[in-house]
Amino acid sequence: MRNKRSPLASTIRQNPGFYGAIIMLLVLYLVYNMLHPRGFSAAVLIQNSNESVAIVFLAMAQTVPVLLGGLDLSVGAIMTLTNCVASVVVNGSPPQIIVGMIITLATGTAFGLMNGLIVVYGRLQPIIATLATGAIAVGLALFIRPAPGGNVDDDISWALTNDLYELVDTYGWFDADAAWFAPISWFPVPLLIVVVIAFGVWLPFKRTVTGRTIYAIGSAEGAAYMSGLNLNRAKIAAFTLAGFFAGCAGLYLAIQTSSGNADITQAGAYTLNSIAAVVVGGTSLLGGMGGAIGSMVGALILRVISFYFRIVSIDPLLQPLVEGVVLLLAVSLGAFRTLRVKNQLNLFR
């Protein structure tokens, strides 16, 4: 808008981290497919999207509190909790399954809302508040499912972790072999779910006053307050949305594994990876800059890096080291802008 000549060029200039991440992802994924014996096939795409969904949703969940300038250490725990809830409720007849899914997402959302209320009215630092609530979530998850197991409906599990063809074929909505359907029937369902939630929930939310208030708080909380924005509502909304996204991750994890598992180490690892994904995706940990779409890309980059170990022969005991080095490089790319800044005070905005 401001730059009438080329709006695209100006968005690229304003979001170097985000576009850099997209280019990095494209290059990494292209090379992976070229090296893979069955690269560029739907089977590989389905498999890759399946294993990425949980971390993508969790990275999106982490983004919203980070935009405020805080960290949410409970996202992995909420994912574990909703995973265990889903393993109990997502089965039975189709209406029961749908109700079960709604219950699962509502659990995540409610937990996020609780986080928000504690942060706003308890006046606690988000990082401390969510550390505590995360422990509560894991405790609840262990209570619901002391041993791994559960029974998520097999059909939904199979249909939602495959391509559109299998989805339609499993439920017989229409003739899956129809000619008009053929060009899109290969599309992976998990990818579709992520795209729908990311663009159907995040983008509209970002455009609301509440959404923009979140960015304003991250940029300059004092200024946002002086501008008469409703800070409390925005903060609560941010954590609630994070809870919803974490709930999506937990639900999909349950569908993917058709079971629930209150795995504490997994919850911790996912929380840390979600923060890494947010940073790689170009969102500033100081808040006010970035977005959930970038984090989605960041999460995918993290995943694609680990895909390489299956193709390229690297000593298994060196793999964590290599992964760490690549990750460090990816994060450092975002820091290159500091080299070009003439006045270092600009960095502190």
- CB closer to other proteins, 3 vs 306: 306
- CB closer to other proteins, 234 vs 246: 246
Q: Are 295 and 59 in contact (CB under 8 A)?
A: yes
Rounded to whole angstroms, the Cα distance separating 300 from 322 reads: 17
Site string for other proteins, 23-62 (x = CB under 8 A): -------------xxx--xxxx--xx-xxxxxx-------
Among 63, 115, 213, 256, interactor with other proteins by CB under 8 A: 256
**Token pair recorded at residue 68:** 């405020």
- Determine the size of the site formed for other proteins (CB under 8 A): 54
244 binds other proteins (CB under 8 A): no
Rounded to whole angstroms, the Cα distance separating 84 from 16 reads: 39
Site string for other proteins, 133-152 (x = CB under 8 A): -------------x-xxx--
Rounded to whole angstroms, the Cα distance separating 208 from 203 reads: 9
Question: Given the rule CB under 8 A, which of 66-74, 133-141, 175-183, 228-236 is the region that contacts other proteins?
Answer: 175-183
317 binds other proteins (CB under 8 A): yes
Rounded to whole angstroms, the Cα distance separating 244 from 206 reads: 15
Question: Given the rule CB under 8 A, which of 20-28, 181-189, 291-299, 337-345 is the region that contacts other proteins?
Answer: 181-189
Alpha helices by DSSP H, listed for the chain, are 7-14, 16-35, 42-68, 75-89, 94-121, 126-144, 154-160, 164-171, 189-197, 203-207, 209-219, 221-226, 231-257, 264-280, 292-311, 319-335, 337-340
Question: Given the rule CB under 8 A, which of 88-96, 130-138, 162-170, 290-298 is the region that contacts other proteins?
Answer: 162-170
Residue 135: how many other CB atoms lie within 10 Å? 15
Question: Given the rule CB under 8 A, which of 22-30, 203-211, 216-224, 262-270 is the region that contacts other proteins?
Answer: 262-270
**Token pair recorded at residue 78:** 């909420």
- Residues engaged in binding other proteins (CB under 8 A): 36-38, 41-44, 47-48, 50-55, 146, 148-150, 154, 157-158, 161, 163, 165-166, 177, 182-186, 253, 256-259, 261, 263, 265-266, 269-270, 303, 306-307, 309-311, 313, 316-317, 319-320
